[in-house]
């Protein structure tokens, strides 16, 4: 009987879960946005196209999807698509900054079944949070949470991207979540999208990674991680979870224009499997694309083969390596043994891949004082 993890690495005939970014439009400009969102892409899937994707997901028996973006609630057909998904037995979690959850929306969401809401928050106070997510975003998120609580939505999720500046707030995040009866999710920052530029200043230090690991070992039962810290397993006993890169094997991303990527952290041609608009739709991309077939082959340890920790950390995260200019068959930039730091020193300035697209809003021009003559 092959181990479960080995079976999953070889890929399944359908994803178990996937992320579907509905739009690149966003009301925020988070410095680390993995999808470089801001402006809507004119090639966005239509409502009809989106429903056909959901029909496919139904046929594939995909149980649960994470609807994200950008800010998914910006789409005018947001509720129509969520309702349709649920009606087709595809359970929904959607990830939001909360700007569009007022009291009425909260009540509407509370009346829906098989729906989970995940609110992003990167600091337990406005100073920490807003430095990453923008002025007013902390208040917006808390207001949304309060509306959900008032509407008796039930347990929602609070999702935190762990950075250098909020590592010390993990206990406080847990208290915040407990106060709402919410589920805390802490996830790893990847140098993806705008995160490529923010990564060097934001990613946790080696000492902080040890703190994160110790904290997760102590609280892992009640906190979700999206399995995103398996690179830390080299520090000792493995963290709870599958501890495997799911990209192209059990999960993937469908982006707002219907392109299918291995995961949301690798929006780049190198990791693009195809499009739902291709003949054969999503199912054909999932089952037959060249990229996914390659990912489902046994992966080479490469430079990590001689390291005793490889079985535990599996060389870390493809996205972290790719967007810091490191080879995929080598150490993760945050390798806890320090092999990544060594490798980064050898990376040439011009050789770091840039994200596929940039939907960021243009920088607001510096205000110019008009001088009246």
Partner 1 sequence: MDQTIIDNPSIEAAPVLAEQPADELLEELLIEEISIDGMCGVY
Partner 2 sequence: MACAASTERSRLTTVDAQHRSLTARALALHPQVSLRPEPFGALAYHYGTRRLVFLKHLDVVRVVQALDQHDSVGAAFEACGIESHRRPAFEKALTSLIESEMLHDR
Note the residues at the interface with partner 2 (CB under 8 A). Answer: 1-2, 4, 7, 12-14, 16, 61, 63-64, 89, 91, 114, 116
Handedness of CA 291, 293, 296, 298 (dihedral sign): negative
The answer to whether residue 63 forms part of the interface with partner 1 (CB under 8 A) is: yes
Scanning residues 318 to 347, which ones bind partner 1 (CB under 8 A)? none
The answer to whether 244 and 16 are in contact (CB under 8 A) is no
Query: Least distance from C-beta 250 to partner 1, angstroms?
Result: 6
Query: Least distance from C-beta 160 to partner 2, angstroms?
Result: 20
Question: What is the rounded distance in angstroms from the CA atom of residue 188 to the CA atom of residue 166?
Answer: 12
Helices 170-180 and 206-219: crossing angle in degrees, nearest 10, is: 30
Question: CA distances (Å), 117 to each of 32, 65, 100, 134, in order?
Answer: 21, 12, 12, 21
Please enumerate in sequence order all residues whose Cβ is within 8 A of that of 192, keeping only pairs 6 or more positions apart, or say none: 34, 264, 265, 266, 267, 319, 323, 355
Q: Which of partner 1, partner 2, none binds 234 (CB below 5-8 Å, type-dependent)? A: none
β-bridge mates for residue 7, sequence order: none
**Residue with smaller CB distance to partner 2, 89 or 300:** 89
Residue 149, burial from CB neighbour count under 10 angstroms (0-12, 13-18, 19+): middle
**Residue with smaller CB distance to partner 2, 12 or 149:** 12
Question: What is the rounded distance in angstroms from the CA atom of residue 27 to the CA atom of residue 41?
Answer: 14
Of 204, 214, 125, residue with least CA distance to 172: 125
Tell how far CA 111 is from the center of its chain: 27
Kind plus residue range of the DSSP H or E element containing 145:
helix 137-150
**Residue with smaller CB distance to partner 1, 146 or 227:** 227
Tell how far CA 365 is from the center of its chain: 30
**Residue with smaller CB distance to partner 1, 93 or 359:** 93
Q: Which of partner 2, partner 1, none binds 322 (CB below 5-8 Å, type-dependent)? A: none
3-state secondary structure of 218: helix
Scanning residues 38 to 57, which ones bind partner 1 (CB under 8 A)? none
Query: Least distance from C-beta 65 to partner 1, angstroms?
Result: 9
Scanning residues 251 to 310, which ones bind partner 1 (CB under 8 A)? 251-253, 262-265
**Residue with smaller CB distance to partner 1, 44 or 116:** 116
Interface mask toward partner 1 for 148-187; x: CB under 8 A: ---------x-x-------------------------x-x
3-state secondary structure of 224: strand
**Residue with smaller CB distance to partner 2, 12 or 110:** 12
Question: What is the rounded distance in angstroms from the CA atom of residue 325 to the CA atom of residue 270?
Answer: 13
HSE-CB of 373 using CA atoms within 13 angstroms: 0
Q: Which of partner 2, partner 1, none binds 345 (CB below 5-8 Å, type-dependent)? A: none
Q: Which of partner 1, partner 2, none binds 128 (CB below 5-8 Å, type-dependent)? A: none
Scanning residues 183 to 222, which ones bind partner 1 (CB under 8 A)? 185, 187
**Residue with smaller CB distance to partner 1, 19 or 360:** 19
Q: Which residues bind partner 1 (CB under 8 A)?
A: 1, 4, 16-19, 34, 63-64, 66, 68, 91, 93, 95, 116, 157, 159, 185, 187, 224-228, 230, 241-242, 244-247, 250-253, 262-265, 317
């Amino acid at each position: 009987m092959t181990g479960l993890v080995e079976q999953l690495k070889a890929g399944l005939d359908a994803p178990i879960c996937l992320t579907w970014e509905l739009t690149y439009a966003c009301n925020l400009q988070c410095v680390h946005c993995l999808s470089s969102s801001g402006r809507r892409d004119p090639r966005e899937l239509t409502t009809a196209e989106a429903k056909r994707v959901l029909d496919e997901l139904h046929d594939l028996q995909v149980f649960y999807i994470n609807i994200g973006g950008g800010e998914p609630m910006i789409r005018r057909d947001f509720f129509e698509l969520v309702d349709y998904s649920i009606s087709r037995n595809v359970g929904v979690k959607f990830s939001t900054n909360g700007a569009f959850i007022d009291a009425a929306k909260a009540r509407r969401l509370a009346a829906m079944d098989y729906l989970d809401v995940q609110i992003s928050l990167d600091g337990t106070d406005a100073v920490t949070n807003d430095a990453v997510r923008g002025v007013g975003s902390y208040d917006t998120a808390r207001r949304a949470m309060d509306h959900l609580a008032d509407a008796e939505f039930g347990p929602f999720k609070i999702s935190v991207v762990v950075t250098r500046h909020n590592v010390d707030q993990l206990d406080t995040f847990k208290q915040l979540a407990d106060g709402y009866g919410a589920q805390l999710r802490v996830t790893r920052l990847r140098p993806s999208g705008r995160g490529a530029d923010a990564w060097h200043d934001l990613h946790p230090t080696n000492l902080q990674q040890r703190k994160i690991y110790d904290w997760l070992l102590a609280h892992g039962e009640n906190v979700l991680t999206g399995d995103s810290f398996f690179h830390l397993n080299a520090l000792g006993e493995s963290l709870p979870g599958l501890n495997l890169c799911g990209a192209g094997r059990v999960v993937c991303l469908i982006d707002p224009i219907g392109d299918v990527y291995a995961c949301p952290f690798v929006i780049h041609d190198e990791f693009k499997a195809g499009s739902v608009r291709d003949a054969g739709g999503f199912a054909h991309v999932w089952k037959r694309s060249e990229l996914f077939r390659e990912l489902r082959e046994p992966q080479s340890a490469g430079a990590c083969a001689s390291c005793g920790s490889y079985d535990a950390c599996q060389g870390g995260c493809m996205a972290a390596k790719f967007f810091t200019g490191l080879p995929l068959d080598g150490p993760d930039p945050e390798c806890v043994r320090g092999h990544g730091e060594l490798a980064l020193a050898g990376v040439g300035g011009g050789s770091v891949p840039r994200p596929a697209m940039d939907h960021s809003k243009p920088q607001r021009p510096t205000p110019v004082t008009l001088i009246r003559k």
